[in-house]
Structure formats: C-alpha cells, structure tokens
Amino acid sequence: MKREEMLIEPDELLARLGDPKLRIYDSTIMFYMGMSAEEAAKMPTAHEVYLQGHIPGAAFFDHQLFSDVGGKYAHTLAPDEILAAQIGQIGIGNHAEVIVYASGLLASATRAWWILHYAGVQHVRVLNGGLPAWREAGGALATGEQKYDPASFTAAFKPEMFASREEVQAALGQGTVVIENALTQDWHDQEHIPGSTCLPLTDLTVGWDILRSQDEISALVAARPKGERIITYCGGGIAATLNAMAHLMVGNENVAVYDGSLFEWKGEGLPLSSSPAMTLA
C-alpha cells in the first residue's frame, strides 16, 4: 500500500475539516509505564483525556469495545461478528472515509487502523503526529462528547492480517517466516520469542507520534531479515501494528500481527530467549 493511502498529514486534515464524508476518531490508549496499579488508577483515562480536548467532530474510539471481553489477555481482538456490529454502531459505513489519531502514542492509532482494515474498511488513514501535530499545525480543539449516528456496515474480513499463537509456534525455525519484535532493544535483549528479530517501533518514529519519512522507513525495513511472511509482535498487540503498517508501506504485503504477543506467549508458559549479554549466570 502507498503511504498516502495509510497516513494523512495535519495540513490536509485541516483543509478538509467539516467534510461530511469524514469520520474522525480519537483512538488514544493511555499507558502509565512504571506506575503501580494503584497509581495508574488515579490517572485520567483515555476517554477523560478525549473529553478535555479533541479534534472538532471527532468521536472516541474505545478499544475495549473492539476487544474480547471474555479473553484471557488484554486488547485481544473481539470475535468477528462483534467487530462488524461495533464498527457500524460507531458510525462507520462501507463508504466512509475514516481518520484515526492518538494523543501521545502513534501505535494506539495504528492499532485502530489495523482492526478497521482487517474488517474491510476500505478508506482509513492515520493522522501522522496525532493530536500534538494537529495543534502545532494550528488546529483547534473541541471538548465534550461527539458521536456519529450508527451506520450500515458489511464486513469483509482479512484473516491473514492476524497470526495466532499456533501459527507463530509453527513458524519457529522456518526460514521463510520472519518474526519481528516491535519492543525496544533492551526489552528484546531481556526476553523475546526464540528466533525473533527486533525492529523497535521507536526507530520508526520521531518521538512517540510521528512516523519517519518514507525514505527512512524504507531503509530501516530493507536492513531487516527477509521472509515470505512477516509476523510482528510486542507486549500486547498494539506496538506491533505500527511495525506491520511500516512493512505494508514499503511493499511487504504478507504481514500479520500476533495479537496475543508476549502477554499470551508468557501466559501460556511458552519458551523465551534472551540475548547472550543479558543471560544470567
């Protein structure tokens, strides 16, 4: 896919704000790294942050509504029939032009993009730079809740866009499949799926919310191991979507996200590797 089919820059969105064809969603996920559960519980939720300031007209994309409420691991994908119904419920029809963005972590928006594209939404793009870039470009903010009327949506799922634990296990040791970790190199050195390589999502972005230029993305991906299929993973299937989109952007079409990622891999007691420098005596 072409970059311009996957990303929209703030200036273009500014020029089109108010277009009735657009459906804009704040898809922020809040991450409070290094905090205890008690400390994190006192911090604002993503929805509360949205209410305090968002792109005018934008509704809130609640990732929980697209996650499997009965699943063992956070943020794993909801069943297909629930996904399809929820997409229509939030106002996305088959001919809608959708923009998703985040405040602070681009991968929150790429996760929303990946879900919608998987379900067959044809026209969906990520706002490069998210809410910070919107404000820097002179975009105004609105407060309070915005919702779109429900729409009719008929899904056309692309099952190849997600990889199961079983597929990852079967791929171990296969030279035709590259398993790529999107977490930081330090994290990868401590623990990773055996045989996987590492392309930190922070290498693909400026800060946390701006995807690097096409030339930079192409150079970074070109330097990675090659395979007939690429499976990206992270902690919980969010950061991995940014890497997966980067691969699509440079022409690697056979790419999937391991939805359960390390949460599931570790939770199911599967083996982990560490880099030699990080191995404890």
Tokens of 122: 């044809």
Region 60-77: what's the mean pLDDT?
A: 92
- What Cα–Cα distance (Å) separates residue 192 from each residue in 49, 69, 179, 233? 33, 27, 10, 10
Residues 92-106 have a mean pLDDT of 95
Q: Which two tokens stand for residue 175?
A: 């030279």
What is the SS3 assignment for 28?
Answer: coil
The confidence band for 41, taking pLDDT boundaries of 50, 70 and 90, is: low
pTM of the shown model: 0.94
Instruction: Provide the pLDDT for residue 39.
Output: 57
pLDDT at 232: 98
Residue where a domain terminates, one of 138, 157, 176: 157
The pLDDT assigned to 131 comes to 97
Residues 137 and 170 in one domain: no
Domain membership of residue 44 as a residue range: 3-157
pLDDT digits (tens, 9 = 90+) for 159-187: 999 999 999 999 997 889 999 999 999 99
Residue 236 or residue 281, greater confidence: 236
Q: Of 28-37, 82-91, 125-134, 186-195, which gets the smallest average pLDDT?
A: 28-37
Same-domain check for residues 186 and 118: no
Residue 22 pLDDT > 50: yes
DSSP 181: E
Q: Are 141 and 130 in contact (CB under 8 A)?
A: no
232 forms beta bridges with 180, 257
Same domain, 127 and 205: no
| Tokens representing residue 246 in the block | 């980067």
pLDDT interval class at 93 (50, 70, 90): very high
Residues 199 and 179 in one domain: yes
- Do the Cβ atoms of 217 and 250 come closer than 8 Å? yes
Between CA 247 and CA 101, with CA 258 as vertex, the angle to 5 degrees is: 60
Average pLDDT, integer, range 58-73: 94
DSSP secondary-structure letter at 259? S
pLDDT surpassing 60 at residue 40? no
Give yes or no: residues 53 and 94 share one domain.
yes
For 229, phi and psi rounded to 5 degrees? -140, 145
In angstroms, rounded to a whole number, what is the distance separating the alpha carbons of residues 71 and 87? 20
For the chain, how many structural domains are there in total?
A: 2
What distance in Å separates the CA atoms of residue 30 and residue 40, rounded to the nearest whole number? 10
Statement to judge: residues 91 and 176 lie in one domain:
no
CA 136 to chain centre: 23
Q: What would the two tokens of residue 9 be?
A: 């820059």
* Cα 235 to the center of its chain, rounded Å: 12
Kindly state whether residues 133 and 146 are assigned to the same domain.
Answer: yes
Q: Of 139, 157, 175, which residue is a domain's last?
A: 157
Residues 67 and 183 in one domain: no
- Give the pLDDT confidence of 24-39 residue by residue, as tens digits: 999 999 864 554 556 5
Same domain, 49 and 147: yes
**What is the helix (H) or strand (E) element at residue 92, kind and residue range?**
none
Residue 59 CB-half CA count within 13 A? 15
Q: What average pLDDT does the segment 137-147 reach?
A: 97
Same domain, yes or no, for 180 and 128? Answer: no
Ramachandran region, residue 189 (left: φ > 0; alpha: ψ -120 to 50; beta: rest): alpha
Residue 69's CATH number? 3.40.250.10
Last residue of a domain, one of 140, 157, 174: 157
Q: Are residues 118 and 234 in the same domain?
A: no
Mean pLDDT of the chain: 93
**Same-domain pairing of 204 and 124:** no
